Amino acid sequence: MTRNPNMREAILSAAELLFSTRGFNAVSIRDIALEAGANPGSITYHFKTKDGLLLEIYKRHCGPMNKRRIELLVAARRVRDVQDRLEAIVRAYVQPAFSSSSDLAGGGARFTRLRAVMSAEGNAVVGRIIAEIFDDTTNAFIEAIEESLPHLPRTTIVWRSQFLLGGLYYTLVNPERVTRLSRGEADGADPAEAIEQLVAATVAALQAPDIDQPKSALPPGKSVARKRHEDPAS
């Protein structure tokens, strides 16, 4: 391949492409060098190791995204109405992830695909990088949700926040599925619609009764499937 004068950026772009399609474990320094039109020594010069290269990819995308999330979260926590505040908190988390790759704030579909692949691999190095990049911001959102839903235990909020992350990944990575299954009546690639649908679904999930909520606290005729030990579909 033709050498790129901006070698550091070429290496980052090549690594991001390969990691997002093949995963972290299956990609070698030599693979990245070939894709970037570089020699392997250039990669070790700029990033020391493949781990350091992945960390830099996360930092350059997620630094701006996390900064924007916190800015929106600060504004959301000032909303007086509890329902509106919860919606604003969830939107503050979701919206920056839909930013285009041109401003690096979220990285668009390719970086989201990379994040999904990295999470699925279960690599210990990847796990440490994800924790370093995201845990502080995620904890800030969990605490904000706790303030809006004080009756829910933190563990339940953590579970439901995990489901939001899964929904966010899949919405960004596979928008064409929405278009296909809706028979063209919905455009899965419409970011504004995707954000509003994801926010509405997440808020509803967060407000659902806890699975360990006492039966006496549920509406008449309702009970929790886990408590009955019955088929949840019955």
Structure confidence by residue, pLDDT tens digits, 162-190:
999 989 988 888 889 999 999 999 999 99
Q: How many helices (H) and strands (E) in the chain?
A: 11, 0
What does the pLDDT read at residue 42?
93
By residue count, the chain amounts to 234
- 133, 59 contact by CB (below 8 A): yes
Question: Domain 1-48 carries which CATH code?
Answer: 1.10.10.60
User: For the whole model, what pTM was predicted?
Assistant: 0.80
Residue 106 has pLDDT above 90, yes or no: no
Q: What average pLDDT does the segment 56-67 reach?
A: 90
Task: For the chain, give every residue range classified as CATH 1.10.10.60.
Answer: 1-48
What value does the mean pLDDT take over residues 7-12? 94
Q: Is 188 left (phi over 0), alpha (psi -120 to 50) or beta?
A: alpha
**Tens digit of pLDDT for each residue in 203-224?**
999 999 999 865 455 444 444 4
pLDDT bucket at 121, cuts 50 / 70 / 90: confident
Q: Residue 98's pLDDT band (boundaries 50, 70, 90)?
A: confident
Is pLDDT at 2 greater than 50 in this prediction?
no
From residue 86, alpha-carbon distances to 73, 80, 165, 191, 202 in Å are 10, 10, 16, 20, 10
**pLDDT(31) > 70:** yes
97 pLDDT above the threshold of 90: no
% of the chain residues with pLDDT over 90:
66
Cα separations in angstroms, 155 against 82, 161, 168, 191? 21, 10, 20, 30
Contact predicate 215/208, CB 8 Å: no
What is the rounded distance in angstroms from the CA atom of residue 154 to the CA atom of residue 145?
9
pLDDT at 213: 67
Task: Decide if domain 61-208 falls under CATH 1.10.600.10.
Answer: no
126-158 pLDDT per residue, tens: 889 989 999 999 999 999 999 999 999 999 999
Stronger pLDDT, 84 or 168, i.e. the higher one:
84
Kindly report, as residue ranges, where domains of CATH 1.10.357.10 are found in the chain. Answer: 61-208
Q: In this predicted structure, which of 26-35, 44-53, 208-217 has the lowest mean pLDDT?
A: 208-217
Which one has a higher pLDDT value, 226 or 93?
A: 93
Give me the amino acid identity at 53: L
What does the pLDDT read at residue 28?
96
Kindly state the DSSP code that residue 97 receives in the 8-state scheme: G
* CB neighbour burial string for 205-229, b if at least 16 within 10 angstroms, e if fewer: ebeeebeebeeeeeeeeeeeeeeee
Print burial letters for 36-50: b (CB count within 10 Å at least 16), e (below 16).
bebeeebbeebbeeb
Q: Are 218 and 224 in contact (CB under 8 A)?
A: yes
Average pLDDT, stretch 28-47?
95
In Å, how far from its chain's centre is CA 31?
A: 27
What is the per-residue pLDDT for 230? Answer: 41
Which residue has 């503050």 as its token pair? 92
